[in-house]
């Protein structure tokens, strides 16, 4: 049972979450408090009664000259209302409705009597609110920090569970707002889940659209055709809830296709052509040795639905199960590592090469693969892959995080605080901190194979640290 403390008014800290979600031993203020007795509301009652009888005042269609607000729940339930002042839950804006001026004469005396100044009837609080008829702040709160938007009768206000947007901003944010580009088996599924837990972020229809690589539609005109960009944009937007996102630009959505990082200039050029300038780029990395081992185990896993098996290359006949383990193409882990390192060395790949050179000799040959069962070692050359993105976009649009910093709830929250800040989203406490898309390994990575990979990756990891210096606050302990 929640402990109720009679403190005379409802303290703001009690509004963090709905009362029924508070811990059982959490003390809150009273749910109803007496603010003033014998308040004369006759004038307000008479005006409402008259307008009910003469014009059906509660029906928004009859509120000529005011601004309607579209609220999904209220509209379905048939809740009628007169809106005069409204604030979004994250205190971005305060909206003053046109009718405020015509009702202030009967409302102001009530505000004065209750000692609730009109300029305090806002939700200036650092957490999503529990809905009250009057929301308030302490008198010392810096009210001037929140913009006031004066609505005009030609506008409509749209509200979702946590967002409020005016109709004149329809389409001002075109999805996606963010794209997680990789790396594969470095926590992209978890990162995407954590982002879309936020009240102001919704998932795309398909998390991994792969539109910029596997699912690029060759039947459409090329990008240099006058109609090419528009055609591809229309196809790409089918992966997003534009019915929600266009009228509600406070809501963000994005996708997470981990193979984009390996796509090189082909994916980057498509990204530049299709994405709005507001679209942010996220990359999540992990120790490349552990990434390669995880990648191998995923590809060798014969359990999953047909699409998962196809994407791992099982349907291509590359995986041959044995009685004790799975081997890929008849080749064991150490043989794959040895063969891939030999291939990379034969191609002349080294940490100091340019992105364009790396793209020509390696990346361009990878983007057309329609499965993920390849480049076990090459995907861990993070610096060479990221260099192309930093070359194509300002660093302010790119944010790189380390999966290895997210292994505890505190570490996870710290990383997500930086992600939400990067996406211009209000702070949010992650509710489900569990890792996603994980699997148990039958046996650890052989010590000799691990050492071989560590030696190979060392100079590339050092290059990564240099690349990200000054543009990322993340510490990559394995990039020495």
Q: Give me 328's structure tokens.
A: 């890929």
Using an 8 Å Cβ cutoff, are 282 and 230 in contact?
Answer: no
C-alpha span between 67 and 72 (Å, rounded): 16
C-alpha span between 359 and 362 (Å, rounded): 5
A 10 A CB-CB count for 245 gives 22
Using an 8 Å Cβ cutoff, are 212 and 128 in contact?
Answer: no
- H or E stretch at 450: helix 447-468
Q: Where are the alpha helices (H) located in 59-187, listed in sequence order?
A: 72-77, 100-114
Exposed, middle or buried by CB within 10 Å (0-12, 13-18, 19+), for 471? middle
Using an 8 Å Cβ cutoff, are 261 and 366 in contact?
Answer: no
Q: Which positions ≥6 away from 265 have C-beta within 8 Å?
A: 356, 359, 363, 364, 388
Classify strands 85-87 and 94-96 as parallel, antiparallel or unpaired: antiparallel
375 assigned ligand-binding residue:
no
323 assigned ligand-binding residue:
no
> Which is nearest to 441 in space by CA: 339, 333, 341?
333
List active site positions.
Answer: 185
Q: Give me 124's structure tokens.
A: 């200036």
C-alpha span between 56 and 58 (Å, rounded): 6
Q: Give me 274's structure tokens.
A: 């299709």
Q: Which positions ≥6 away from 170 have C-beta within 8 Å?
A: 246, 247, 249
Cis peptide before 383 (omega within 30 of 0): no
The annotation places the binding site at: 286, 294
The annotation places the binding site for 3'-phosphoadenylyl sulfate at: 286, 294
């Amino acid at each position: 049972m929640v402990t109720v403390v009679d403190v005379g008014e409802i303290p703001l800290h009690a509004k963090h979450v709905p009362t029924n979600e508070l811990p059982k031993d959490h003390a809150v203020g009273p749910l109803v408090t007496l603010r003033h007795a014998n308040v004369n509301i006759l004038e307000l009652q008479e005006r409402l009664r008259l307008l009910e009888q003469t014009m059906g005042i509660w029906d928004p269609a009859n509120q000529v000259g005011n601004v309607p607000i579209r609220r999904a729940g209220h509209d379905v339930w048939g809740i009628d209302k007169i809106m005069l002042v409204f604030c979004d839950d994250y205190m971005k804006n305060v909206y003053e409705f046109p009718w405020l001026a015509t009702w202030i004469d009967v409302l102001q005396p009530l505000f004065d009597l209750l000692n609730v100044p009109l300029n305090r009837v806002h939700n200036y609080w650092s957490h999503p609110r529990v809905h009250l008829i009057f929301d308030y702040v302490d008198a010392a709160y810096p009210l001037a920090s929140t913009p006031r938007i004066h609505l005009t009768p030609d506008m409509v206000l749209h509200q979702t569970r946590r967002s409020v947007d005016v109709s004149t901003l329809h389409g001002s944010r075109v999805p996606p707002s963010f794209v997680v580009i990789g790396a594969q088996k470095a926590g992209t599924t978890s990162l995407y889940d954590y982002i879309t837990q936020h009240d102001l972020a919704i998932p795309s229809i398909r998390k991994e659209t792969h539109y910029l690589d596997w699912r690029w539609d060759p039947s459409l005109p090329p990008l240099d055709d006058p109609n090419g960009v528009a055609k591809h944009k229309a196809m790409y937007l089918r992966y997003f809830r534009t019915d929600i996102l266009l009228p509600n630009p406070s809501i963000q959505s994005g996708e997470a296709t981990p193979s984009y990082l390996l796509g090189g200039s082909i994916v980057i050029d498509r990204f530049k052509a299709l994405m709005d300038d507001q679209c942010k780029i996220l990359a999540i990395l992990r120790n490349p040795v552990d990434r390669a081992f995880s990648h191998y185990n995923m590809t060798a896993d014969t359990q999953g639905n047909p699409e998962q098996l196809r994407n791992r290359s099982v349907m291509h006949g590359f995986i041959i199960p044995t009685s004790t383990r799975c081997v890929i193409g008849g080749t064991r882990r150490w043989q794959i590592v040895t063969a891939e390192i030999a291939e990379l060395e034969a191609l002349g790949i080294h940490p100091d090469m340019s992105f364009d050179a790396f793209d020509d000799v390696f990346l361009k040959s990878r983007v057309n693969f329609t499965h993920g069962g390849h480049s076990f070692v090459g995907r861990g050359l993070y610096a060479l892959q990221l260099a192309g993105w930093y070359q194509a976009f300002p660093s302010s649009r790119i944010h790189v995080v380390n999966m290895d910093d997210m292994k505890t709830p505190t570490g996870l929250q710290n990383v997500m605080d930086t992600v939400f800040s990067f996406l211009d989203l209000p702070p949010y406490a992650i509710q489900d901190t569990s890792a996603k898309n994980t699997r148990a390994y039958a046996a650890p990575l052989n010590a000799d194979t691990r050492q071989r990979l560590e030696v190979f990756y060392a100079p590339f990891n050092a290059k990564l640290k240099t690349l990200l210096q000054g543009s990322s606050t993340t510490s990559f302990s394995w990039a020495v």
